[in-house]
Amino acid sequence: MSESLEVVARHATGSHASRRLRRQGLIPIVLYGHGEKCVDLAAHREAVEAVIRHGSRVVELKGAVKTSALVRELQWDTFGNEPLHVDLIRVNASERVKVRVPVDLKGECPGQREGGVVTVLVHEVDLECTADAIPERIHALVGRLGIGGTIKVRDLDLPKGVRVLADDDETLVSCALPSKKAEEAAVVAEPELIGRKPTEEGAAAETE
């Protein structure tokens, strides 16, 4: 998914200039890549926040620069509420790129209904795909995940042409009994063992 982002050129750089821009409602941007020189830009905060809110990874820059660009990095304030800086890298729509996207659980887990706890071990995965096919997120389908089951990289629901840059055997999601219930299940056989032990010891004593 891509959308337009209107940008203007900025000539002053550095922390003081960036703070001044932010007070004016603008976000500093750096555009680089494809062997071309870096370009210092800025965009209105509302426009940048709209791109983030819509989950856009590729933007069509308008205004001072006209090109397609991938959102490479976002810097946030201390509380994670306001964007402070954006790094963009030039891309072509058909160019294969590497990006990191979140893993999202989809469906109802039968193991959870049986008292199991679903644990997401990996919250984000690195992907390789064309710039125009970057998914917002990758779905881990938990509809068949029972107690003791796992979802590995190979089990992910991937869009066509998208490749996960991780080992196929890496575990992303698991479902298991809570530790207390697991301990209780593990000692179910103990009373029998304890009940037999005196008998065996008694038999040994009688033999002696």
For the stretch 29-83, pLDDT in tens is 999 998 899 999 999 999 999 999 988 889 999 999 999 999 999 999 999 889 9
- What's the confidence (pLDDT) of residue 195? 47
Domain covering 98-186 in this structure, CATH number = 2.170.120.20
The residues of the chain that CATH labels 2.170.120.20 are 98-186
- What's the confidence (pLDDT) of residue 188? 52
The residues of the chain that CATH labels 2.40.240.10 are 2-91
The DSSP secondary structure of the chain, one letter per residue, reads: -EEEEEEEE----SHHHHHHHHHTTEEEEEEEETTEEEEEEEEEHHHHHHHHHTT-SEEEEEES--EEEEEEEEEE-TTS-SEEEEEEEE--TT-EEEEEEEEEEES--HHHHTT-EEEES-SEEEEEEEGGG--S-EEEE-TT--TT-EEEGGGSBPPTT-EESS-TT-EEEEEE--HHHHHHHHTTTHHHHHHHHHHHHHHHHHH-
Whether this model's pTM surpasses 0.85 = no
Answer whether residue 10 shows pLDDT above 70: yes
For the stretch 121-176, pLDDT in tens is 999 999 999 988 898 899 999 999 999 999 999 999 899 999 999 999 999 999 99
Class of domain 2-91: mainly beta
